[in-house]
Amino acid sequence: MKCYIPIHSGFCFGVDLAVKAAYKNLDTSTYMYGDIVHNPSVIADLRSKGLGLVDSLDDIPNGKDINVLIRAHGVSESIITEVKNRGYGIIDKTCPRVKKVHEIVADASCRGLDIIIIGTPNHPEVLGIAGWAKTQTVVLRDLSDAQKIIPNTSFSEKGICIIAQTTHNKERFEQVYKYCSSVLPHIEHYDTICDATAIRQEEIRRLSLTVNCVIVIGGKTSSNVTRLYEIASEYNNNTHHIESANEFDVSALKGVDSVLLASGASTPESSIAEVVKCIENYCLKNKLSFELLKP
């Protein structure tokens, strides 16, 4: 059994910075504003070690020296203002690449441009990005959304700024941008898809074709993990998405001699290692050779 792990695996640098900050601030007066990473095992570990978790600032109990930890996805301008107004300390771990998108949106909006975000509606990163615009924002997931929504929306005469959620699928971004530029005038566009995401998507696309089975490891609510699962499924019909080794059903390996372990930017190395162990045990039990490869 050949078990492939892509070179780009485990936390991306933005998530890594945020998770390290969380472990550095394990005290009862620090609250994560939303899950610091879309990975239930990491969140459970942080919570068991004392870090608070709230989805609204109103859920923070009264107390002294309260700090609010902002995750890599970032938040809207109004949340930052509210944290400051309440006198809380702020540990802002918004990924620098997401911050850059906030700056683009704030600047375009100040110039009167409406904003089109190509991404997943209601995803926390998308809500955060939209919260830096003063003008109209429209969120489009894919080409079919664009074809339905754009003809029925009136936009600012000053123009439109198009950006992407950092973890969005590159092909979808390009399709939607192409459509918008064919029907709308005065467009500025910025490909804000993060390299860490684009490289992983490309690797998965290429490697999924060369193996008999793909296991995508990562949180079910993680946007970048879901994108990887969608891409791998297109190229390999024996593709499975699991959050952790506990969900892994070894029957997926029946008759398989090569498997790809793909993981998202929010998947810790430890989760990948646990799945490797399961595959190794399966090989041992079935008297199969086992080889771990990083192509």
* CA separation for the pair 59, 168 (Å, rounded): 31
The values of phi and psi at residue 148, to 5°, are -80, -45
Residue 150 contacts ligand F3S per CB under 6 A: no
User: Two tokens at 172?
Assistant: 């979808």
To the nearest whole angstrom, how small is the minimum distance from the Cβ of residue 166 to ligand F3S? 4
Q: How far apart are CA 140 and CA 183, in angstroms?
A: 15
Q: Which is nearer to ligand F3S, 1 or 22 (CB)?
A: 22
Give the nearest distance from C-beta 92 to ligand F3S in angstroms: 13
Q: Is 231 in the site for ligand F3S (CB under 6 A)?
A: no
What residues between 107 and 136 interact with ligand F3S by CB under 6 A? none
* Region near ligand F3S per CB under 6 A, out of 9-17, 132-140, 142-150, 270-278: 9-17
| Binding characters for ligand F3S, 248-267, by CB under 6 A (x = yes) | -----------------x--
Q: Find the binder of ligand F3S among 43, 162, 163, 196 (CB under 6 A).
A: 196
Asked if 105 touches ligand F3S (CB under 6 A), the answer is no
Residue 290 binds ligand F3S (CB under 6 A): no
In terms of C-beta density within 10 A (0-12 exposed, 13-18 middle, 19 or more buried), how is residue 105 classed?
buried
Assess 236 for contact with ligand F3S (CB under 6 A).
Answer: no
Q: Which stretch binds ligand F3S (CB under 6 A): 90-98, 135-143, 227-235, 271-279?
A: 90-98
Number of residues that bind ligand F3S (CB under 6 A): 14
30-33/67-70 β-pairing: parallel
For the annotated catalytic residues, the residue numbers are: 125
Q: Which is nearer to ligand F3S, 46 or 95 (CB)?
A: 95
Straight-line distance from the first to the last Cα atom of the chain, in angstroms, rounded to the nearest whole number: 15
Q: Choose the stretch contacting ligand F3S; rule: CB under 6 A; options: 78-86, 174-182, 191-199, 207-215.
A: 191-199
Alpha helix ranges (H) inside the chain: 13-24, 40-48, 77-85, 96-110, 124-130, 143-149, 170-183, 195-208, 223-235, 269-285
Token pair listed for 153: 């929306």
Q: Considering only CA atoms, which of 73, 130, 121 is closest in space to residue 96?
A: 73
Residue 132 or residue 155: which is nearer to ligand F3S going by CB? 132
Residue whose C-alpha is closest to residue 227's, from 196, 259, 183: 196
Binding site for ligand F3S (CB under 6 A): 12-15, 72, 95, 97-98, 166-167, 194, 196-197, 265
